[in-house]
Amino acid sequence: MNQFYTAESVTEGHPDKLCDIIADSVLDECLAHDALSRVACEVLATKGQVIVAGEITSLFEPQIPAIARSVLQKVGYDPARYAIQCLVHKQSPDIAAGVDCSLERRRNPSEDQPALQLGAGDQGVMVGYACSETPQMMPLPVMLAHRLTSALAAARKTGVMQGLRPDGKAQVTVEYGEDGKPLRLDTVVLSAQHSPEKPMDELCWELTDKVLAPALQALPPDEDTKILLNPSGRFVLGGPEADTGLTGRKLMVDSYGVFAPHGGGAFSGKDPTKMDRSGAYMARYIAKNLVAAGLCEKCQVTLAYAIGKAEPVMVEVDTFGTGTVCADDCLAEAARFVFGLTPAEIISQLNLLTPRYTQTAAYGHFGKPEFPWERTDQAKILRAAVI
């Protein structure tokens, strides 16, 4: 029996994504001047107001109002129309103590392994996923949704389409055959903020020609595909003026949509001692290498950590019955053997102290080849370890 899977994406002008970008821009500015900065930055954006709150411990003091205004300008909003409030203080000394000296080191002070130096910045569950249905080893509906919103933003910024405004979102439903492979494009939803002078028929024609056509080349619409352009009708009022934005409110857009569960922790605004972020990146790295190694066709890797403890309390692999060589628990043991899973090891392996996080904040944290957690450099080692 065929199944239908849906994924969504939003542009950087969506109010929630605007908040994520501001939070990660603050993080990048701190890391650029002090690589050991501890940052937990949350942002709220509403009509005429941007509020930045959180905990920052750094040798560098970021100019948060200037950073927020710069992001507003780049995204396409007038920064002069927003008041910026900052409610920031230092990281809790109790949390800092648990991160700076792990539980393992505290229990055995003579232990001198650098890998055990840092404890996890919080407890939590992190999930990584990979599959063989696209070159990026991401689910096809997720990639198509991101391509639509990326193309929409590009059409606005390059002037290919006139009368577009920054807010927008897309949703894609793909029909899968009985073999579990993408079969056809069932439904496309695209909503684009526009100026009041833009005629609706002209908007829909241009969206079809200049956004849908290039973005959906991997799985073009057929005669039965349902295409819904601005289905609510007029979409003039958008962004924070129409809808309050918050960091971390687009978790499934950031990750794998309906294809994998989410541990619940947001990514943006957090330095890599926060396992919500670094653990999720490592889980993706492991899952992608397992698929690249030919050990499975799709894979979900789940990691769990306790605050202050360096080693994970759980490492689980689920190949959904697609494993080709051995049982899933064997793959989990191989992952433990090949990959360092303490916070210090993850930060080192994935080069997570480099300020690159603003680039992750929109159009998904996964499936972009420029990020270290997208490498497949451990595939051969993994396969050898298993065999």
pLDDT tens-place string over residues 126-181: 999 999 999 999 999 999 999 999 999 999 999 999 999 999 999 999 999 999 99
How many other C-beta atoms can be found within 10 angstroms of the C-beta atom of residue 281?
Answer: 26
Is 12 assigned a ligand-binding role in the annotation? no
Mean pLDDT throughout 212-217?
96
pLDDT tens across 72-89, in order?
Answer: 999 999 999 999 999 999
pLDDT digit string, tens, across residues 28-84: 999 999 999 999 999 999 999 999 999 999 999 999 999 999 999 999 999 999 999
Per the annotation, does 316 bind a ligand? no
Q: In angstroms, what CA-CA distances link 222 with 99, 170, 213?
A: 53, 18, 12
pLDDT reported for residue 299? 97
Pairing of strands 314-318, 298-305: antiparallel
Judge whether 169 is annotated as a binding position: yes
Q: What is the pLDDT of residue 277?
A: 97
Is 288 annotated in a binding site? The answer is no
**234 marked among binding-site residues:** yes
Checking if the pLDDT of 249 tops 90, the result is yes
Find out whether 107 is annotated in a ligand binding site: no
Residue 14 known to bind ligand: yes
* Ligand-binding site membership of 55 (annotated): yes
Residue type, 231: P
N- to C-terminal Cα separation, the chain: 35
Known binding residue 356? Answer is no
250 is in an annotated binding site: yes
The answer to whether 179 is annotated as binding is no
| Average pLDDT of span 206-228 | 97
- 210 annotated as a binding-site residue: no
Model pLDDT for residues 181-200, shown as the tens digit of each residue? 999 999 999 999 999 999 99
226 is in an annotated binding site: no
- Domains of the chain, each with CATH number or no CATH: 3-8+140-237 (3.30.300.10)
Residue-wise pLDDT tens digits, 363-377: 999 999 999 999 999
Encoding tokens for residue 365?
């944290």
- Mean pLDDT, the chain, whole residue set: 95
Q: Is 235 annotated as a binding residue?
A: yes
Of 220, 246, 236, nearest in space to 168 by CA: 236
